[in-house]
Amino acid sequence: MSAKNKVRGNVAETYIVKMAEEYGVDAQRAWASDGRSMGLCYKDDGTIGPYRWQSKRFMFKNVVKWFVKNCIDYLQGDQELITFYIDRSKGRPRQVYTIMELEEFFKLLKKAEEKDEC
């Protein structure tokens, strides 16, 4: 990976951790984007709450190609969340999306509903 792309990835990961912290969610970024520095798999970029995550940063035009080729493999592996940091392109603002397994999403909804009932 070229140094420029490494810096771009670090900026995206830092942005995601700061955004999570603004919402009061505990988030940590692994040193050098290597989960082994936190006792995780080398592919993990860190943790967000109880979830291990992998972050990818793309120009808008490249998202679909990468997604179709790799997303399922990541979710079937060790990662529980994949974040996509999509750079601005042709008037589109920067956007960040998160993908997770449906079962985990339902667990999060259940926890949120339980908190609302209290």
Q: What is the pLDDT of residues 72-99, one digit of tens each?
A: 676 666 777 878 788 876 677 778 888 8
The predicted structure's pLDDT at residue 29: 94
Residue pointed to by tokens 């399922």 = 72
Per the rule left: phi > 0, alpha: psi between -120 and 50, beta: everything else, 97 is beta
- C-alpha span between 83 and 100 (Å, rounded): 9
Query: pTM for this structure?
Result: 0.65
Of 105 and 41, which is predicted with more confidence?
Answer: 41
Q: What is the pLDDT of residues 12-43, one digit of tens each?
A: 899 889 988 888 888 899 998 888 999 988 88
Residue 32 to residue 10: CA distance in whole angstroms: 8
For residue range 52-70, what is the model confidence (pLDDT) as tens digits? Answer: 888 878 776 666 676 766 7
> What does the pLDDT read at residue 1?
53
